[in-house]
A and B are shown apart, each in its own frame.
Chain A
Amino acid sequence: MRRLPLTLVCAALLVGIMASSIAAAPTRLTVWAMGAEAQKIGEMTARFEKANPGIRVTVQAIPWGAAHDKIITAVAGGTGPDVAQMGTTWMAEFGSIGVFEELSRYISKSKSVEKGQFFPGSWGTCVVAGKVYGISWYVDTRALFYRTDLLAAKGFKQAPRTWDELRAAAAALAVGGGFGMALSTNNYQEFMPFVWQNGGRILDEIGRPAVTEPQFVEALDFYAKLFHDKLAPIDSGGTDLFQEFAKGTMPMYFSGPWMINMTNEQVPEIAGKWSVAVCPAKKTRTSFVGGCNLVVFRDSKNKDAAWRFVEFMSDAGNQLAWFGVSGCLPAAKAAWDAPELAGNPMMAVFREQLDDAQAPENVPQWAQIEAAIQRRVQEACYGKKTAAEAARALEADIKAIR
């Protein structure tokens, strides 16, 4: 009977020792942040540390240009971070070779993180071959920027809502020597939405090329004809889009929310004469979604703490705070209900667009497929191949990539 209290005392002592040792040596978490985000993320890590006194975060700023090589040497030398910001297009490349921790078991235990809270297109970039390797942090997407005044002058009271309207508006705007719109012959991010809008795809369910399906060919044909018919400039390299937009010689283009502030700054003279709209529809109004996710490195020795950081950053409230710090758009849908986003009419357009925005097939050979798409799309735009020929050539290209 006397023994019991003694044991309890010991246990109490032990707990005390353990508790104090935790307090004395906080878990140190290393986070890699890329580019401009690295300069701004400190405000968020400070909040995190406040909410998690046992964890100290060290942010390492990684220039985008060096990031790819740094990931490789870090994996090779075991000097990787616990958490890293990851571009959506790198998820499959590194995810497929075991660089990132699979997060399903953390998600299943998490009270706050579940896939439904994020825009589906963005969540899709986290999943590689059925495995979740990251959590959506912030997004960007493309919508239609257009000159309200010039369209109105041609009798268009609103932005084009369909492919037919887009073509008609472009044709009307091009009368008089300019172009109807700016469009790229070699940027798959501008091209892919047209494929998706028409129900097309690059790969089918089992990974075979699907680019000779009529939906793809039709989209490519529509896209290429915009160049053939001089509605879009075939070689816009080097043009100053802001100036062309202001002059009215390229009065429509597809781009992301970052262009809102830049347009205001660069060409303030057209304030009030332009707006943004959701992409025009064929079957859908799908756009492209990009952005960045947060990943936990598989070699991390602090995975639980790392997950807590990712969980914290994925919270809608914190993503909204991050938007305030950085201007990066929240990937969590709930954050968009806040007045600073919901109250901004242009942002509301991007909000709407994000519900129908997609990312390319998240496969490790995407970089090679992307290069092939850009080459073949360009051939079609320049009229060197018909859409059908370019699609067949692209199919052969993709088949050649194992």
Chain B
Amino acid sequence: MRRFVVLALAVVFTFSCYCLVNATGMDRSYLFSMDTAEEARKFDNDNTGAKIEVSREVVRQGSGAFKITPSGKSPETKIAVDIVGDALAAWIGNDALAIHVFIPEKMKAAPNSFFLGMADVSDGWAWVDGVFPRVDVKPGWNDIVYTLSGAMKNVKEGGHYKIYLSFFAVDESNAKVPLAEPFFVDGIWAEKLDGAGSAASGAPVGNWLWAMDDEGELAGHDNDNTGAKFQPESGVVCQGSRSVAVIPDGKAVETKLALDLVGQRLEAWIGQREVTLNVYLPPANKLNPTMFFLGLADLADGWAWVGGVFATSEVKPGWNQVKYALPDEMSNLKPSGSYKIYLAWAHVDESGRKLPLREKFFIDGIGVASASLSREELIRQIPEHVKVEVAGLLEMDDEDLLNMLERKTFDYLWLEANPANGLIRDRTMKGSPCSIAAVGFGLSAIPVAVERGWIGRDEGYARALVTLKTFAGGGVEGQRGFYYHFVDMAEGRRFGDSEISSIDTALFLAGALTAGQYFSATDVEALADKLFAEADWQWMMNDGDTLSMGWKPEVGFLSARWNSFNEGLLAYVLAVGSPTHPIPPSVWDSIFRPVNENYICLPQETLFVYQYPAAWIDFRNKEDHYANYFNNAATAARVNRLFAVLRRFNYSTYDMDIWGISACDGPAGYKPYGASENNHDGTVAPYASIASMPFTPGLSIAAIRAMLEREGGLVWGRYGFVSGFNADANWYSDQYVGIDQGIILLMLENHRSELIWKQFMAHPAIADAMAKIGFVASDAEYAVTPAYLEEWERIRLAPAEKSAIALRVAVPVVVDGDLAEWRGLTGYLVDEDMNVPAGGIEKVDKRKQVLNSTFYVQYDDNYLYVAANVADEYIVTNIRPDDKAGFYRTDSVEFYIDPSRAGSVAGIMKLAVLPFDTEGGVQAVRHEDSKPGPVAVTNPGIRVASARTERGYAIEMAIPLADLGLAARAGVKLGFGHTVHNSNDREAKIGQYVRTNVISWNNLPEVWANPDLWGELVLD
């Protein structure tokens, strides 16, 4: 399915990248050569119990190797080591980390999965990123190469990091089996990958005029009297083997490098539109260049200024690609001429003054390219026939317009197929494999084309037959009736390391059954039913409650399941309806269905998810226990549109009628975009609005017209609409994607003739499945059934149903911040998942952050005691002792107590506790409750203490029961809540509002203002 497209393509690239520059290892320099006990002491096992010792049993290089003896209990075996100083210097500029691993011949469970994680420990502990390498290990020595992610490459100079190398074994069921027998690691080194693309990101510039690898390259250079010096450098490299350090003289307001542009370089320059300079700006520099200027002079006859251009690229510390757009006069040079280019750098401050640069920075590579064209130029390049076609479309009435759009869209599914086997290309990219999902769409498209007269019935029948024969005859790799997501177009063999995919097989089968019904009582129908019968859905359940997403020979079943509301619904209808391997209809109820107010949602709001099942299943006028899924998809489509419309002033792509945020190609590659924060960048997928046609016909027609009207030939071509565009980035895909074309065609046809619905629903197994699942006729207008809405409300409010118990203690608790006397008590966890939804608040990013709190409650004759043990990797202390307002601005906790539930009239008490003010003292105030103010004033009997702990901080508090109007009596029930406010802002100004996260025991919106949402506290 879609989510795997990225993975699969990434694999293709990775294959080509695995040619290590230093493949022989002859002159390899190791970060850790793993020869001495002293070195071994630098490593720890990250609490996995593994033993790390130097051994000479097997050695790959040097005098020894590390023998790693796993604990036999831990699911992962790890070794961890700091990357700092020399190791960090060696890390910088590389693309990959690699290790030699020796796997003994006779291991019962040998490591077959590997992971490299990285944390920034410069200041506290913060997760950076982690990568899984391609794995294919054999007994003996193996090199494991971990391709570093952008975040792992973009490390701070002078920083302090820690890497975690994890080794584990995964069995067929994808479960981790603890390793028990020793294996060996000998040597960790960093590598550049050949052709991996530069760290500066983006496509590598094809043509380096100056690669800056060889001193001779800069022959004839000068500094244009700016005093700057230039030195070859091998520590910081973007491409090739070296870079050039630019060393300003600290006085000149501009630092310059002048280079001769003659001969071959000049020839390569002429006619190009863009110059790229790779620049590394050390993060530690006080002043880095912010102005980048490129000038050009003609030296043919003395010296004459030609022109200059400022780069508009935004730069940040680290590697940057600075791009200069060449004006005509700087591009159209005489091939026989002699020119000089001037690269000038300066730091420009806020008031526009230029400040002399003092610190060195690095440049590595000056290249030229034919540049990204402006919108006007792109429009000028649109072929005349396309312009005419678009103009014609805009003049058509709706019916003709849709007909034409369907026709063009169909062409993809017909022409991008291999006629010999029926396999259809995933996308129009050269070398693209077949996507079996696209084949499913293509099979469904055949009846459309026959009915509309675009192909003959015989022609359509023949193609359907060939396709189904290919699958039925073993011409597509798979097993148990499921097929690989991507297979090669010619032979149908597994492509890359793609998975045997349950959803993509479902999409294929839906298409097969549609074609089968259309060509009923033919071989096509017989083959379709045969293929349907072959799919072993029971196997795909993998002994769980829901269908697995797929299976790979390397790891067995994928751990991901179709356990939440999404396009997987289609697979369930097929699985329940299977004549041979049906799954029980009750599985349908194992799907988690979150509700957003009035519709069941995919929180990421990737629109295709709502559309795919509805391309085949006619959800109109029927509902199951949960929803009318047709109305549900309609609501989701309108939400998707409103999301874009309300942001039309922030993104120039979005407009009243230009919307549709869903998985598609974008300026930065394929992304599973959706109409949710942090999941969109202004890219619109044309298919998203168009395929909503059955749900939102008026809005969808308007979208088609608006896209054609505003973007015209930029988004329209031989197969209709392209796969994505982004006006802000002036980026227009030139690709067509099979499943995008497929969903457009099927949904338009359903809207016009209901053809796909009619065929698919006519299959007895589908009708049977719908009945078993519990679909009944209903003409209700709602999306979610009232019954499920009620049920969901209970699920949603469950956080408020929580209950904590306070044990009675005989000895008063010492309020000193030391939680020793709380040990052994039941704590109540508020973890990283318990985010309070609120504007301006971000969810805790579990991959990078640690934030949780365990709270405890006790009481005695006089006091209610509360304690919180908060894990927080960085504690912000930016509130002065005399500042008693709004502790939620920064790291702080709150306890909410509602004694009215116990019949007390003392009023609500909301205690806000600041663990450390700028003087290090603890502060507690009552806030927005019945008696606000510092507790010293409002409730002098309250005692509070804080302490720093290894993982964060601890709070301890004693609250007089009398202040709550309560007596110490077992069975008393109070309202109770605990909320943690968090910031990790290391530059927080005094008093500044820096809160980023809010987690709460009762993580409901505005929990602080609604005592009825608080949990319960019972005095035991």
Chain A positions near chain B (C-beta within 8 angstroms):
63, 65-66, 68-70, 72-79, 93, 97, 235, 237-240, 364-365, 367-368, 379, 384-385, 389, 401-402
B351 touches A73 (CB 8 A): no
Chain B residues contacting A240 (CB-CB under 8 Å) are 883-885
B351 touches A65 (CB 8 A): no
User: Among B599, B649, B1005, B1006, which residue has the most Cβ atoms of chain A within 10 A?
Assistant: B649
Would you call B646 an interface residue if the criterion is a C-beta within 8 Å of the partner chain's C-beta atoms?
yes
Chain A residues contacting B57 (CB-CB under 8 Å) are none
Would you call B992 an interface residue if the criterion is a C-beta within 8 Å of the partner chain's C-beta atoms?
yes
B649 touches A368 (CB 8 A): yes
Give chain A nearest CB distance to B358 CB in angstroms.
Answer: 22
Q: A75-B638, A77-B638, A78-B781 are in contact. Are A65 and B646 (CB under 8 A)?
A: no
Q: Which of B350, B597, B884 contacts A74 (CB 8 A)?
A: B597
Q: A72-B639, A364-B649, A385-B350 are in contact. Are A235 and B598 (CB under 8 A)?
A: no
Q: Tell me, in angstroms, the Cα distance from A66 to B839 when the chains sit together.
A: 8
Q: A238-B883, A238-B991 are in contact. Are A73 and B656 (CB under 8 A)?
A: no
B598 touches A77 (CB 8 A): yes
B635 touches A401 (CB 8 A): no
Chain B residues contacting A402 (CB-CB under 8 Å) are 648-649, 652
Instruction: Show 27 A/B contacts (Cβ-Cβ < 8 Å), sorted by A.
Output: A63-B1006, A65-B1005, A66-B1005, A66-B1006, A68-B839, A69-B597, A72-B646, A73-B597, A74-B597, A76-B638, A77-B598, A77-B782, A79-B597, A79-B782, A235-B992, A237-B889, A237-B992, A237-B993, A238-B889, A240-B885, A365-B649, A368-B649, A385-B350, A389-B351, A401-B649, A402-B649, A402-B652
Chain B residues contacting A384 (CB-CB under 8 Å) are 350-351
3 A-B pairs with the lowest CB-CB distances in the bound complex, closest first:
A238-B991, A76-B638, A77-B598
Chain A residues contacting B636 (CB-CB under 8 Å) are 76
Q: In B567-618, which residues have CB < 8 Å from any A CB?
A: 596-599
Q: Tell me, in angstroms, the Cα distance from A237 to B989 when the chains sit together.
A: 10
Q: Tell me, in angstroms, the Cα distance from A360 to B656 when the chains sit together.
A: 23
Q: Which of A77, A238, A385 contacts B886 (CB 8 A)?
A: A238
Residue of B nearest to A237 (CB): B991
Give chain B nearest CB distance to A368 CB in angstroms.
Answer: 5
Give chain B nearest CB distance to A366 CB in angstroms.
Answer: 9
B635 touches A73 (CB 8 A): yes
Would you call B990 an interface residue if the criterion is a C-beta within 8 Å of the partner chain's C-beta atoms?
yes
Give chain A nearest CB distance to B882 CB in angstroms.
Answer: 9
Q: Tell me, in angstroms, the Cα distance from A65 to B889 when the chains sit together.
A: 17
A-contact 0/1 string along B893-926, CB 8 Å cutoff: 0000000000000000000000000000000000
Give chain A nearest CB distance to B961 CB in angstroms.
Answer: 27
Give chain B nearest CB distance to A81 CB in angstroms.
Answer: 12
B993 touches A65 (CB 8 A): no
Residue of B nearest to A63 (CB): B1006
Q: Tell me, in angstroms, the Cα distance from A51 to B603 when the chains sit together.
A: 44
User: Among A65, A364, A379, which residue has the most Cβ atoms of chain B within 10 A?
Assistant: A65
Give chain B nearest CB distance to A110 CB in angstroms.
Answer: 31
B635 touches A77 (CB 8 A): yes
Q: Tell me, in angstroms, the Cα distance from A379 to B350 when the chains sit together.
A: 10
Residue of B nearest to A61 (CB): B1010
Q: Which of A63, A75, A78, A385 contacts B642 (CB 8 A)?
A: A75
Give chain B nearest CB distance to A396 CB in angstroms.
Answer: 14
Would you call B936 an interface residue if the criterion is a C-beta within 8 Å of the partner chain's C-beta atoms?
no
Q: Tell me, in angstroms, the Cα distance from A240 to B885 when the chains sit together.
A: 6
Q: Which of A63, A238, A364 contacts B1009 (CB 8 A)?
A: A63
B990 touches A238 (CB 8 A): yes
Q: Tell me, in angstroms, the Cα distance from A367 to B650 when the chains sit together.
A: 10
Chain A residues contacting B1009 (CB-CB under 8 Å) are 63
Q: Tell me, in angstroms, the Cα distance from A70 to B783 when the chains sit together.
A: 15
B642 touches A97 (CB 8 A): yes
Chain B residues contacting A97 (CB-CB under 8 Å) are 642, 645-646, 656
Q: Which of A66, A69, A238, A368 contacts B885 (CB 8 A)?
A: A238
Q: A63-B1006, A368-B650 are in contact. Are A73 and B596 (CB under 8 A)?
A: yes
Chain A residues contacting B641 (CB-CB under 8 Å) are 76
Chain B residues contacting A74 (CB-CB under 8 Å) are 597-598
Chain A residues contacting B650 (CB-CB under 8 Å) are 368
User: Among A70, A74, A238, which residue has the most Cβ atoms of chain B within 10 A?
Assistant: A238
Residue of B nearest to A75 (CB): B642
Give chain A nearest CB distance to B499 CB in angstroms.
Answer: 34
Would you call B879 an interface residue if the criterion is a C-beta within 8 Å of the partner chain's C-beta atoms?
yes
Q: A65-B839, A73-B598, A76-B639 are in contact. Are A93 and B646 (CB under 8 A)?
A: yes
Would you call B135 an interface residue if the criterion is a C-beta within 8 Å of the partner chain's C-beta atoms?
no
Would you call B838 an interface residue if the criterion is a C-beta within 8 Å of the partner chain's C-beta atoms?
yes
User: Among A78, A235, A237, which residue has the most Cβ atoms of chain B within 10 A?
Assistant: A237
Chain B residues contacting A73 (CB-CB under 8 Å) are 596-599, 635, 639
Q: In B618-653, which residues have CB < 8 Å from any A CB?
A: 631, 635-636, 638-639, 641-643, 645-646, 648-650, 652
Chain B residues contacting A79 (CB-CB under 8 Å) are 597-598, 782
Chain B residues contacting A69 (CB-CB under 8 Å) are 597
Other than A66-B837, A79-B782, A97-B642, give 4 A-B pairs with Cβ distance below 8 A: A66-B1006, A70-B597, A76-B639, A402-B648
Q: Which of B597, B631, B656, B879 contacts A238 (CB 8 A)?
A: B879
Chain B residues contacting A364 (CB-CB under 8 Å) are 649
Q: Tell me, in angstroms, the Cα distance from A364 to B645 when the chains sit together.
A: 11
Q: Tell me, in angstroms, the Cα distance from A74 to B879 when the chains sit together.
A: 41
Chain A residues contacting B884 (CB-CB under 8 Å) are 240
Give chain B nearest CB distance to A215 CB in angstroms.
Answer: 24
A77 touches B879 (CB 8 A): no
Q: Tell me, in angstroms, the Cα distance from A215 to B471 when the chains sit together.
A: 76
Q: In B818-873, which residues have CB < 8 Å from any A CB?
A: 837-839
Chain A residues contacting B883 (CB-CB under 8 Å) are 238-240
Chain B residues contacting A68 (CB-CB under 8 Å) are 839
Q: Tell me, in angstroms, the Cα distance from A238 to B883 when the chains sit together.
A: 7
Q: Tell me, in angstroms, the Cα distance from A355 to B421 when the chains sit together.
A: 79
Give chain B nearest CB distance to A25 CB in angstroms.
Answer: 19
B646 touches A63 (CB 8 A): no
Residue of B nearest to A368 (CB): B649
Q: Tell me, in angstroms, the Cα distance from A93 to B646 when the chains sit together.
A: 7
Q: Tell me, in angstroms, the Cα distance from A49 to B456 when the chains sit together.
A: 68
Chain A residues contacting B782 (CB-CB under 8 Å) are 77, 79
Residue of A nearest to B641 (CB): A76
Give chain A nearest CB distance to B785 CB in angstroms.
Answer: 13
Chain B residues contacting A379 (CB-CB under 8 Å) are 350
B991 touches A235 (CB 8 A): yes
Q: Tell me, in angstroms, the Cα distance from A76 to B351 when the chains sit together.
A: 47
Chain A residues contacting B642 (CB-CB under 8 Å) are 72, 75-76, 97
Residue of B nearest to A69 (CB): B597
Q: Which of A66, A72, A75, A239 contacts B991 (CB 8 A)?
A: A239
Residue of A nearest to B890 (CB): A238
Residue of B nearest to A385 (CB): B350
Q: Tell me, in angstroms, the Cα distance from A74 to B1005 when the chains sit together.
A: 18
Q: Tell me, in angstroms, the Cα distance from A364 to B837 when the chains sit together.
A: 25
Residue of B nearest to A241 (CB): B885
Q: Tell me, in angstroms, the Cα distance from A73 to B879 when the chains sit together.
A: 39
User: Among B650, B837, B992, which residue has the most Cβ atoms of chain A within 10 A?
Assistant: B650
Q: Tell me, in angstroms, the Cα distance from A6 to B645 when the chains sit together.
A: 59
Chain A residues contacting B989 (CB-CB under 8 Å) are 235, 237
B635 touches A76 (CB 8 A): yes
Q: Tell me, in angstroms, the Cα distance from A70 to B782 when the chains sit together.
A: 16
Residue of A nearest to B932 (CB): A266
Residue of B nearest to A66 (CB): B1005
User: Among A68, A74, A367, A402, which residue has the most Cβ atoms of chain B within 10 A?
Assistant: A402
Q: Tell me, in angstroms, the Cα distance from A70 to B599 when the chains sit together.
A: 12
Q: Tell me, in angstroms, the Cα distance from A345 to B350 when the chains sit together.
A: 48
B991 touches A65 (CB 8 A): no
Q: Which of B599, B649, B652 contacts A77 (CB 8 A)?
A: B599
Q: Tell me, in angstroms, the Cα distance from A385 to B349 when the chains sit together.
A: 11
Give chain B nearest CB distance to A30 CB in angstroms.
Answer: 13
Q: Tell me, in angstroms, the Cα distance from A75 to B642 when the chains sit together.
A: 9
Chain B residues contacting A76 (CB-CB under 8 Å) are 598-599, 635-636, 638-639, 641-642
